[in-house]
Amino acid sequence: MSSIVAFGAGGDEPYALLLGGGGGGGGGRLALRKVGDVVASIQVDVDGWRAPANAADLTVLAGLEGPLLDVGCGPGRMVRAAEERGLAALGIDISTEAAVRAAAEGTPVLRRSVFDRLPLEGSWSTVLLMDGNIGIGGDPEALLLRCAHLIADDGVVVVEVDADPELHDCATYTAVGEDGLESAAFPWARVGSAAAARVALRCGLMVCDAWAIGDRRFVLLRRSPTVTT
């Protein structure tokens, strides 16, 4: 497995605890705290990841085709929602606890990094980067380039982006639970729609659609017409 540091892993393992990997299980919220910034934090609703896909999630699946790959699938809500709509789907996550929980729900899942060798390389109709997973590895360009290699020529990449369209912040974070338990540091990125469009172009992708549901923002990327595999 590639050497990406897992989201919320290490240290007190707050993410694993919230997924039910220890400490009595349960759910709750995490705060993503940028290393060196003790004031600002990003709130993450882990309970929402464990729940069934909601109305905003389902807008992402509308009109998509399988096979679908959910990168950083967590407990697997999007994979299950895709299957309920008749799409062949697979989730991948490097978190053991996330993969175990997803599998326990009957979700097709592999404990694997997006940068490892994967099934159907170059043949996925859809790749999902939900819940800010454009941040995986702290290098959005490397991640989108990898996604461009995973999709078929007519495939799409759906990215959940930050509300600030110009935001492009790559930094080191820790995840902190409501009880103060803190993970080891890991690289992460936050990217808005305009910034994502610029990064996508450097990866042979282009924005073909964008939409908002409440405070959530999404973009749909396709291969640029001048790019062939």
CB 1 within 8 A of CB 113: yes
For residue 3, give the amino acid letter.
Answer: S
How far is 18 from 30, CA to CA, in rounded Å?
9
CATH number, domain containing residue 131: 3.40.50.150
Would residue 138 count as lying in a domain?
yes
Tell me the per-residue pLDDT of 17-70, one tens digit each, with 9 for 90 and over.
Answer: 888 744 434 458 899 999 987 666 888 888 889 899 999 999 999 999 999 999
Would residue 79 count as lying in a domain?
yes
Cβ-Cβ contacts under 8 Å for 192 (sequence gap 6 or more): 161, 162, 163, 164, 165, 166, 167, 168, 217
CB 21 within 8 A of CB 12: no
Phi first, then psi, for residue 150 (nearest 5°) are -80, -35
Would residue 144 count as lying in a domain?
yes
Would residue 71 count as lying in a domain?
yes
Range of the domain at 136: 53-169+189-223
Q: What pLDDT is attached to residue 22?
A: 47
Cβ-Cβ contacts under 8 Å for 38 (sequence gap 6 or more): none
Would residue 21 count as lying in a domain?
no
Q: What pLDDT is attached to residue 229?
A: 46
Would residue 107 count as lying in a domain?
yes
Would residue 183 count as lying in a domain?
no
Phi first, then psi, for residue 93 (nearest 5°) are -160, 145
Instruction: Please tell me the total count of domains within the chain.
Output: 1
Q: What pLDDT is attached to residue 3?
A: 62
Q: Which residues of the chain have pLDDT under 50?
A: 21-26, 228-229
Please give the distance of CA 63 from its chain centroid, rounded to a whole number.
Answer: 20
